[in-house]
């Protein structure tokens, strides 16, 4: 009796894995989607500007850099002052 229960449990696990695999693979497409809305790179809310420091350190700021004031650096996760020289 125990072997019959184990056999049925193994079958149920295999069928469940098989069905989940089919479900995941059938919903694939060639891009990202969120809430059935296709997301493309040009749909981004943010554009970034890369600034190289004197010591070749890369910094990424939002698309509008304000000189001599604080700007959020997305690489270092901190506020940094950008100065023109």
Mean per-residue pLDDT for 4-11?
90
pLDDT at 11: 93
Residue 21, burial from CB neighbour count under 10 angstroms (0-12, 13-18, 19+)? exposed
Asked whether 64 and 79 are in contact (CB, 8 A), the reply is no
For residue range 65-85, list pLDDT tens digits in order. Answer: 889 999 999 889 999 998 887
DSSP-assigned beta bridge partners for residue 63: none
Higher-pLDDT residue of 38 and 74 is: 74
Closest alpha carbon to 58 in 75, 83, 71: 75
pLDDT at 41: 59
pTM reported for the whole predicted model: 0.45
For residue range 9-36, list pLDDT tens digits in order. Answer: 999 999 999 988 877 766 655 565 556 6
């Amino acid at each position: 009796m125990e072997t019959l229960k184990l056999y049925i449990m193994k079958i149920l696990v295999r069928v469940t894995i098989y069905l989940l695999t089919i479900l995941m693979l059938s919903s694939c497409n060639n891009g990202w989607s969120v809430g059935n809305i296709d997301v493309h790179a040009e749909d981004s809310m943010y554009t970034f500007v890369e600034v190289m420091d004197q010591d070749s350190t890369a910094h990424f700021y939002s698309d509008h850099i304000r000189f001599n004031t604080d700007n959020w650096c997305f690489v270092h996760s901190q506020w940094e002052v950008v100065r023109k020289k």
